[in-house]
Amino acid sequence: MKALAATLLMSSVWFGGVSILAAQDKPEMMPSPPPKILNVIREYTKPGKSGMSHEKTESAFVQAMRAAKWPTHYLAVDSLSGKPRTLFFTAYDSFAAMEKDMRAAEKNPSLMAALDRAGVADGELLSDTDASDLVYREDLSLHAPVDIPHMRYFEISLFHIKPGHDKEWEALVKMYQSGYERMSDVHWACYEAVYGQLDGTFVVFVPMKSASEIDHGMMEDKQFEDALGGEGMKKFRELEAAAVDSSQTNLFAFNPRMSYVGDDWIKADPDFWKPKPAHSEAKKTEEKSEAKH
């Protein structure tokens, strides 16, 4: 819905593919498959305007959604690499469902007014923003259904494929799938960008249970290379050189204070999904400091 709100403002997030599980004593939900359509809003913050400053303005969007009891939810993640930015993901079953959601919001004057006010305040902190629509490619994904509410990070890779080299790209991904399919802890969801990105852009969401999985992943990469062998790796590199024009991978952390999630997510892990506002905690600390003096 944050994505929808931003789309509406500019025109006048399952989220399921990647994971990080919380503490083991948290009850797990049944793994859910990635959504068919993913709307993504990217907000780039000005220097010094991320963190609690951005969380405070974004909380107005969350409050507006809750006040309206809006049925469509969204997930926010903050960048831990690259330019400071926050991504907002909204999931839909179809583009028709996205349109229905947008039209319903337009018919809710109280909600739209609240979103307009929030957008003005939030815009003061941003240097740029854009929107994309992605379509799930199950054929290019592996072990994609996961327990999303217990996740904490996303590793997101963007691949731009050379024009006319889709077959080489698909063959390359099939080699990835073949090499990793026996590793049950390896998950990824692949999406193809249909709007908002260059033609031939694919977005891959990789699951991790904790940051320690980054270290573990390096060992699995070595296992992958050993499984392919010398000739297999030669073929792999040939396909990569033929198909991939450019690629980039970045790490993101879930931000519950900027996310508008459903009750089922909150019940699954209330300590994480229903935290006290960061600015409220800062205010309490400041008040205690003043009292001492």
Residue 270 burial (CB count, 10 A): 11
**CA nearest to 146, candidates 30, 31, 21:** 31
CATH topology of domain 2-289: Alpha-Beta Plaits (3.30.70)
Confidence at residue 241, expressed as pLDDT on a 0 to 100 scale: 97
Mean pLDDT, to the nearest integer, of 20-39?
A: 67
CA 292 to chain CA centroid, nearest Å: 42
Cβ pair 85, 42 in contact under 8 A: yes
CA gap 159, 190 in Å, rounded: 10
Quick check: 106 pLDDT over 70? yes
- Higher pLDDT pick, 184 / 254: 254
Confidence at residue 17, expressed as pLDDT on a 0 to 100 scale: 34
CA gap 88, 207 in Å, rounded: 17
CA gap 11, 2 in Å, rounded: 14
Cβ pair 90, 72 in contact under 8 A: yes
Residue 269 burial (CB count, 10 A): 23
CA gap 4, 13 in Å, rounded: 10
Q: pLDDT (tens digit, 9 = 90+) per residue, 244-292?
A: 999 999 999 999 999 999 999 999 999 999 876 655 555 555 555 555 5
Confidence at residue 244, expressed as pLDDT on a 0 to 100 scale: 98
Q: Is 211 helix (H, G, I), strand (E, B) or coil?
A: coil
Backbone angles phi, psi at 193, to 5 degrees: -75, 130
Q: pLDDT (tens digit, 9 = 90+) per residue, 187-206?
A: 899 999 999 999 999 999 98
Candidate from 67-71, 87-91, 229-233 with smallest mean pLDDT: 229-233
Q: pLDDT (tens digit, 9 = 90+) per residue, 160-181?
A: 999 999 999 999 999 999 888 8
pTM: 0.84
Confidence at residue 275, expressed as pLDDT on a 0 to 100 scale: 74
* Percent of residues, the chain, with pLDDT higher than 90: 67
